[in-house]
Structure 1
Amino acid sequence: MTLPEFLLPVIALAAGLGVLLWLLLAGPDQARVRAVQNLQRGHTPAQDRPRHQQGHLSVARVIDSPERRGRLERALAKAGFPGGWTVDQLLSIKVLGTLLSAVLFFLLWMSSRSSLVLLLGAALTVGVFFLPDLLLLNAFQKRREQVDLELADTLDQMSIAVQAGLGFDAAMLRVARNGTGVLARELVRTMQDIQVGQSRRNAYEDLAERTGSIPLRRFIRTVIQAEAYGIPLADVLNAQAGELRVARRQRAERKAMEIPVKVVFPLIICILPVVFIVILGPAAISIMENLFGAL
């Protein structure tokens, strides 16, 4: 391969990676921020949007649709909007990343004419298209696990606050403001939804939908039923906190029991061959020396 043919894919890759890095680090959607700031004083015309946001939207329209936009909005909400990502940025990353990968591997295929490069390029191009979805799924799973770990302690604090005389909403707000984790931020958002006029039932159900935590969903259903039938919430909080502590301990024990099974394959692949070499290596060398010395 000559030097110009080698530099062309490299230059294309560097330019594409620069664009993708800029999209990832561009920060929150300025159009959305401007819209929130102008809710009390009027509407911002479309031509007043920043130029880079207009670029995001024009690129995102290639694969944009109401269904895909709604799905990505829900995925971003469940993942906690990592890195200030927006739907327009994700759609732009999908389009530009896929085009960049396709062009790069097409140039490599033109230089080598190999079917392996073509198949590998097609597979990686498809992988680049779905990479933002996988990143969001990974962030959502980690966030859900964090919520599960924080739920028992949060319910204990809410139970103490309710027994001290606070109402359920006041106890939730106090615990949320004093907390620093993922669940505390979600509780603050839930209380804000209630304060702006959303019903308590819908706000609680939105909380369960955003976090995706099964224990939290069960707790919310219990709270809704307790409010409907007039059951004291202090007793509900105590019972739910005790069950969650038992479930957390059982989950830790289950993970501890899974460790020996997970260690088997690294042990067989990485450690046992080295042990065999150390133990049998000198014996094999002595056997080879005696055998060839006798011959």
Structure 2
Amino acid sequence: MWLGLSLFLLMLWVVMLCAGLLWPIVWHSKQGTKSSSWVSAWWRYWRHVCQPLLGWRHRQRLARLLVHVGQSSVPVEQIFAYQCGAFLASFFLCLMAWWGWGGKWLSGVPWSLGLASAMYWYPVSVLQRKIRRQQQQMQREFPFMLDLLTLSLEAGMGIQSALQLCVAQLPSHQLRSHLQLTLDDLRTGLNRDQAFMRFAQRVALDEAHAFVAALQQSFELGGSLGPLLRQQAHQRRQERFLRAEKKALEAPVKMLLPLVVCIFPCTFLVIGYPLFFQLWQNL
């Protein structure tokens, strides 16, 4: 009886596995799309399944992160499919590992849910870390960009020509790509205020908002941009120096834990072992 039941369950599992592998390809053929392999078919089908679960608040948050990271062409549904896949895979793997170690299913569910929740937010945390690294790089390059703009405007160039020079000379790829998008907005006929406001929203830095505010004030009042941008470049350079000084002051505090845990015990062992060995011989 048990042998027949086991064979039936095994056959049922094989049938479900084959159906699961073939159904996305059949679904794509019904949709009229071509897939290069069953993996790409599975991935597209998985995105289609996860798409109704994506709320509008989470959609806006992911879209804003993709804009800040410079990957606005990436579909939001793709990142959400990564999140759902990471959640399910980590949940079932943790549950199977818990059961393999001899634990009960129900007792392993909370741990599996905790790990799955952490893995669900892992793609978002990767995007946030990438944004922070890019913002730090753009903060270092921002004074150089302001200097280039100041020299170009004082030499008689227009704002678009000055931005084009910055795009050609800036070493930072991310800041250069944001300026290129601003140039594309201006060339398509978008208003200058709206184009620079989009630049500030994409960069998401206080320096960018101050730069855009100075540009808008100059456009409205008709003043000269050169001295104002030169002053901003000097201020941004001072802020960069203060950030570097702050990190230098934080270094001894961060080195305290490795000193106490790793270096001090080895030092005490090297100094104290000969004394302990000599006392042991005398006793």
TM over 0.5: same fold? yes
Other-structure match for 1:6: none
2: CA distance, partners of 1:187 / 1:103: 45
What residue number does 1:253 align with?
Answer: 245
Question: Is the counterpart of residue 129 in structure 1 residue 120 in structure 2?
Answer: yes
Matched letter for residue 232 of structure 1: S
> What is the aligned counterpart of 1:236 among 221, 228, 231?
228
Q: Render the CA deviation track for 1:221-240: whole Å, top value 9, x for unaligned.
A: 11111211111011111111
TM-score by length of 2: 0.79
Whether the 8 Å CA contact 1:162–1:171 is kept in 2: the answer is: yes
Gap runs ≥5 in structure 1: 1-45
Percent identity reads 25
Correspondence for 1:65 among 55, 59, 73: 55
Question: For the residues of structure 2 that align with 1:78 and 1:170, how far apart are their CA atoms?
Answer: 25
Is structure 2 residue 201 aligned with structure 1 residue 209?
A: yes
Q: 1:142 offset after TM fit, Å?
A: 0.6
- Secondary structure of 1:61's match? helix
- The farther-off stretch of 280-289 and 186-195 is 280-289
Conserved 8 A contact 1:101-1:124? yes
Partner of 2:132: 141
Shift of 1:180: 3.9
Q: Which amino acid aligns with 1:98?
A: F
Q: Give 1:86 deviation, angstroms.
A: 3.5
1 CA distance for matches of 2:167 and 2:80? 33
For 2:214, which of 215, 222, 233 is the aligned residue? Answer: 222
Structure 1: which 4+ aligned runs deviate by more than 3 Å? 46-54, 114-120, 288-291
Matched, 1:105 2:88: no
Q: Distance in 2 between matches of 1:118 and 1:266?
A: 36
Asked if the contact 2:92/2:112 (under 8 Å) is kept, the reply is no
Q: CA deviation at 1:247?
A: 1.4
Q: Give the deviation of 1:187 after TM superposition.
A: 0.4
Looking at structure 2, the residues matched to 66 and 98 of structure 1 have their Cα atoms a distance apart, in angstroms, of: 20
Q: Does the alignment pair 1:278 with 2:270?
A: yes
Q: Contact 2:153/2:226 (CA < 8 Å) preserved in 1?
A: yes
Shift of 1:56: 4.7
Distance in 1 separating the partners of 2:217 and 2:208: 14
Cα distance in 2 for partners of 1:56, 1:229 equals 54
CA contact (8 A) 1:215 1:244 kept: yes
**Residue 260 of structure 1, CA deviation:** 1.4
Distance (Å, rounded) in 2 between the aligned partners of 1:90 and 1:209: 21
Q: How does 1:51-90 map to 2 (within 5 A)?
A: 52=41, 54-61=44-51, 63-81=53-71, 85-90=74-79
Higher Cα radius of gyration: 2
Match of 1:192 among 179, 184, 199: 184
Please state how far the C-alpha of 1:59 moved relative to its aligned partner. 3.5
Q: Deviations over 1:16-41 (max 9, x none)?
A: xxxxxxxxxxxxxxxxxxxxxxxxxx
CA RMSD of aligned residues (A): 2.3
* Aligned residue pair count: 245
SS at match of 1:75: helix
Please report how far the alpha carbon of residue 89 of structure 1 lies from its aligned counterpart in structure 2 after TM superposition.
Answer: 2.0
For residues 197 and 143 of structure 2, what CA distance do their matches in structure 1 show? Answer: 19
- How much does 1:166 deviate? 0.2
Alignment partners' CA distance in 1, 2:97 and 2:46: 28
Instruction: Name the aligned partner's letter for residue 69 of structure 1.
Output: R
Distance 2:147 2:110 in 1: 55
Q: Which moved more, 1:121-130 or 1:133-142?
A: 121-130
Gaps of 5+ in 2: 1-30
